[in-house]
Structure formats: structure tokens, C-alpha cells
Structure 1
Amino acid sequence: MNHSQLFIDSLIHPKKLAAYRLLPIGKVIQYTFLLITIVTVFSFGRFTAGMSVNTFDMTSINGLTEYIEGIKWLLYPVTFIMLFVFTTMLIFGQIALYALAGLFILKVMKRRGEYRHIWRTTTFAMTWAILISMLSDYLPINSTIISIFSLLLTVTLLTIAFTKYPKQPIAK
């Protein structure tokens, strides 16, 4: 299974997400890092487009402007690495928290599944939320509303995927 097929299925086939719980963890981690790389490159592009020396055009900070111009070659790689690390921590933290919530949803739905399966399903269910949050600055909507919408969307996609998980055996 290639990453483009996983990406497309994550966007338009929420019921297939349950089947992806059986993928090897390496494939899921690769997909996660692919999403992290997309977000990092997008954020870095926004950073470099917004980085302008003209914002430091005041005469009292002329020395600071010259200093920034002198170390600009160092600023970009460090910024990219820091963006990648922080984005990685943020997305893996979100996946872990959504998977924990998914564990409780799974119990309420009386379905069988382990945390590792839910974690894998959550990774694919978060694709929409990651894309929406990445593009949120271009939408005329408050970021709090976008965050709540992303949360509800991820939980909804998880719930749809959980309908395909096996049912718990009936206790006698």
C-alpha cells in the first residue's frame, strides 16, 4: 500500500480506516512523518515569505537589522529543524490523546480493539484536521472554531471507523 493511496483513503473513505489498523507500525509512522513534513514545509514557506528585513526598518534598531542579515544563512536551517521538531511533538501528542479518547469511544460502542490499533486508525483519521489547521490562516473563521471543528471531525471519523471494528463477544 503506497502513501498516496493511504492519503486518498484517509480523505474520502473513513470506513477503510478500520482496516488500516492492521498495517505494520512502520508504514503508519512513515505516513505520519509524511504529514509532518508537509506541515513543516508549508509553515516554513509561510515563515520565509513573512520574514522581511523591512519590518526592522526603524533607525533605533539598525544594528539588529545588520546582525539578522549577517546570520540569515543560519536562521533558516535552525528554524526548519525547530519547526519539524515542534510539529512532530504536537502531532504525535494529538494522535496519542485522540487515541486515548478513541479507547473510551470503543468501549462505549462495545467493540474490540487495542490502543495500538486505535492509534493507527487515529493517525489516518487526523488527516483532514491537519490539512484544515494548516490552511486555517487563509480561512475567514476564528481559529477556536476551526480547532473545535477539527476535533469533532476527527472524533466523527474515528467513530465511523470504529463501526467496522469487531464486536465484543457477549458475556454469558
Structure 2
Amino acid sequence: MKLKHSQLFLASLYEPKKLAAYRIMPIGKVIQYAFLLITAMTVFSLGKFFNNEASQIFAYKEIEEFASDLKWLVYAISIVFLFVMNTLILFAKISVYAYVGQLFLKPMKRRGEYRQVWRTATFAITWEVILSIILSLFAISSTISILLFIIVTMSILFMALKSYPKMPQA
């Protein structure tokens, strides 16, 4: 059965137990899903940049004429930079969550490998991406939002890890 990205998205939001089943999904589909999240983050960041930040970059009268000719270059560089940075940050977060999640497997007496936990963490980070987009619209302390992201993502990951197969008893 082929799963659509929309099905993966909805399961990531509402069904943590299904995330455990996705641990055996081909890595290509998981990477595609991660890049869809990265694209959503980048599009939102670019929207904010084009609406608010770009006008501040070209606010100086002395360079306004010169900058108006190069505005397309700033936008092109911004798109590439934001996409690359969002990619690096999201993959680093997924890897850290997967490492921490793997540390929970043994005390929970569950079987799993890092690569499987990494796949599960990729889907568990969905709420974090959505919340980061929503919370960026409000003036909320970055410390509070980071703690919220960690708690939400680790809670979902923990619920998914509880559905991993149990270790065989010796």
C-alpha cells in the first residue's frame, strides 16, 4: 500500500501509534516528507521576509537606487539560504531527537535501531514545524517556544516508541 504525503501528515498529527509502524518505511519516502516540512518552513519564512524584512534592508536613501537594481539578487540568495539553513536545522533536530529516542528504547524494553527511530522522529517533528510557524507570528520568548517544541516532539516520539516491538525475554 502506497501512502500519500497527506496521509503521513495527518497520521503525524493525530496517530502516534502509526508512527511506530512507519519505522520500516523506505527512507526515500521519509526524506520526501522531511523536505515537504522544510519547504513549508521556507515558504513561510520567505513570506515574512518579503513582507517585512526586505523593506528594512533597502531603507537607506543613499543606496536605495543601487539596491533596487539588485533586489532580485537579494531575493534569490535569500531563497537558497533559507532553504539550506532550514534543511540543516531540521535534519539536525531530527537526528538529535532520534538519538535521545534511542536512549529510551532500552529502558522501555523495546527493539529498534537508530535508523528506525530517525524515521519515527521525522514524523514526530511535524507538530514542532507547525507550532514554529504559528508562534513566529506572535512575540513569544524563544526559550519558551524551544521548550514547548522539545516537550511536544519528545512526547509524540515517546508515545510512538511505546508501540515498537518488545524485546524478547531471555
Question: Which TM-score applies when normalising by structure 1?
Answer: 0.92
In structure 2, do the counterparts of structure 1 residues 31 and 62 end up closer, same or farther at CA, with 3 Å as the change threshold? same
Cα shift at 1:65: 1.8
Give the corresponding residue for 2:146. Answer: 147
Give the corresponding residue for 2:63. Answer: 64
Deviations 1:101-128 (A, max 9, x none): 0010112211000000000000000000
Deviations 1:20-75 (A, max 9, x none): 1111000000000000001001100100001216962xxxx433222221100111
Cα shift at 1:142: 2.1
Stretches of structure 1 that go unaligned for 5 or more consecutive residues are: none
Give the corresponding residue for 1:52. Answer: 55
Residues 152-167 of structure 1: matches in 2 within 5 Å? 152-167=151-166
**Structure 2 CA distance, aligned partners of 1:107 and 1:40?**
36
Whichever of the two has the greater Rg, that structure is 1
Give the corresponding residue for 1:88. Answer: 87
Cα shift at 1:76: 0.8
Give the corresponding residue for 2:45. Answer: 43
**Structure 2 CA distance, aligned partners of 1:168 and 1:26?**
27
**Structure 1 CA distance, aligned partners of 2:22 and 2:46?**
31
Cα shift at 1:97: 0.4
**Structure 2 CA distance, aligned partners of 1:73 and 1:139?**
29
- Residues 16 and 161, structure 1, Cα contact 8 Å, conserved in 2: yes
- Residues 39 and 87, structure 1, Cα contact 8 Å, conserved in 2: yes
In structure 2, do the counterparts of structure 1 residues 24 and 83 end up closer, same or farther at CA, with 3 Å as the change threshold? same
Q: Percent identity?
A: 48
Give the corresponding residue for 1:123. Answer: 122
User: Aligned pair 1:79/2:78, yes or no?
Assistant: yes
**Structure 1 CA distance, aligned partners of 2:114 and 2:4?**
24
- Residues 58 and 64, structure 2, Cα contact 8 Å, conserved in 1: no
| 4+ long deviations beyond 4 Å | none
- Residues 99 and 114, structure 2, Cα contact 8 Å, conserved in 1: yes
**Structure 2 CA distance, aligned partners of 1:37 and 1:92?**
13
**Structure 2 CA distance, aligned partners of 1:63 and 1:79?**
22
